[in-house]
Chain A
Amino acid sequence: QSVLTQSPSASGTPGQRVTISCSGSSSNIGSNYVYWYQQLPGTAPKLLIYWNNHRPSGVPDRFSGSKSGTSASLAISGLRSEDEADYYCAAWDDRLNAVVFGGGTKLTVL
C-alpha cells in the first residue's frame, strides 16, 4: 500500500480537462512540497511539477499542479493522445523520514 493515495485510473477525451488527485497526511503533503511525475510506457518517470505548482522548462502549460491541506492535484487541460501515461505524486514524509510516492494513476485518452 502506497503512503500517498491516488485513484488507479482516469480517462478523458481529446481536448478535455482531467484532474488527478493525491491524498496524504500532515506528515507528508500537509507539511512538504508535492512533486508530480509522468511515466510514458517503457520509459523512466519524468518530472512534471515541482514545489506543488511549478513546471520545469519544456513542460507544457497544459499541466498544472495545486495543493490544499493534505491533498494535491494535477490538472491536464486540452488533453492529447500523447498524455496517455501513468502519473505519480511524491512528497517527503517527516514521520517516515523518506520520500513517499502515490500508487500511480493510469490516464487513458479515449
Chain B
Amino acid sequence: QVQLQESGPGLVKPSETLSLNCNVSGGSISSDYWTWIRQFPGKGLEWIGYISYTGNTNYNPSLKSRVTMSVDTSKRQFSLKVKSVTAADTALYFCARQYSNGWFNDWGQGTLVTVSS
C-alpha cells in the first residue's frame, strides 16, 4: 500500500483555478493510474479522472473542458487543476491509486476546497 497526501489552498475564488498536488510515498508512482475523486457536501462522490505515470490522461467528460492533470515522477507527485471554478466545485478532494476503472485501492485523507469570494 502506498500513502497519498493531498495539498493545496483550501479557499479559491470564483472564476479562478483550483490547484492541488498529491504526494505519493511508500511505493512507486511508476505504475497503475493516479486519480482524483471529489465528494460534495451532500456526500455524493464524483470521479474527476486519472493520469498514468507516462502522462496519459482520462478525464470525466462532464469536467473535461476545465480539468488538467499532470505527473512528476521525480517528485513522486501528481497534480490537478480545475479552471473557472464556481461554488459547485466546493468539495472534499481525494487523490487515489486506481488499478482499473472503479478500483481505487489507496486513498489520501482528502482536502477540503471551498469556492467563495
Name A's B-contacting residues (CB within 8 A). Answer: 2, 32-35, 37, 43-47, 50, 56, 86, 88, 90-92, 96-101, 103-104
Given contacts A35-B104, A43-B109, A101-B46, 12 further A-B contacts (CB under 8 A): A33-B100, A47-B105, A50-B99, A56-B105, A90-B45, A91-B102, A98-B47, A98-B61, A100-B47, A103-B43, A103-B44, A104-B45
Would you give 19 A-B contacts (Cβ < 8 Å), ordered by A?
A2-B44, A35-B102, A35-B103, A35-B104, A43-B109, A44-B107, A44-B109, A45-B104, A47-B105, A50-B99, A90-B45, A90-B102, A92-B101, A99-B47, A99-B60, A101-B45, A101-B46, A101-B47, A104-B43
Q: Chain B's nearest CB lies how many Å from the CB of A3? A: 10
Q: Which residues of A contact B108 (CB under 8 A)?
A: 44
Question: How far is it, in angstroms, between the C-alpha of A27 and the C-alpha of B103 when the chains are bound?
Answer: 17
Question: How far is it, in angstroms, between the C-alpha of A91 and the C-alpha of B96 when the chains are bound?
Answer: 16
Q: Which residues of A contact B104 (CB under 8 A)?
A: 35, 37, 45, 47, 90
Quick check: B43 and A86 within 8 Å, CB to CB?
Answer: yes
Asked if B62 CB lies within 8 Å of chain A CBs, one says yes
Q: Chain B's nearest CB lies how many Å from the CB of A43? A: 8
Q: Which residues of A contact B44 (CB under 8 A)?
A: 2, 101, 103-104
Name B's A-contacting residues (CB within 8 A). Answer: 43-47, 60-62, 94, 96, 99-105, 107-110
Question: How far is it, in angstroms, between the C-alpha of A18 and the C-alpha of B9 when the chains are bound?
Answer: 40
Quick check: B62 and A98 within 8 Å, CB to CB?
Answer: yes
Quick check: A44 and B102 within 8 Å, CB to CB?
Answer: no
Quick check: A32 and B101 within 8 Å, CB to CB?
Answer: yes
Question: How far is it, in angstroms, between the C-alpha of A45 and the C-alpha of B43 when the chains are bound?
Answer: 11
Quick check: A47 and B101 within 8 Å, CB to CB?
Answer: no
Q: Chain B's nearest CB lies how many Å from the CB of A93? A: 9
Q: Chain B's nearest CB lies how many Å from the CB of A105? A: 11
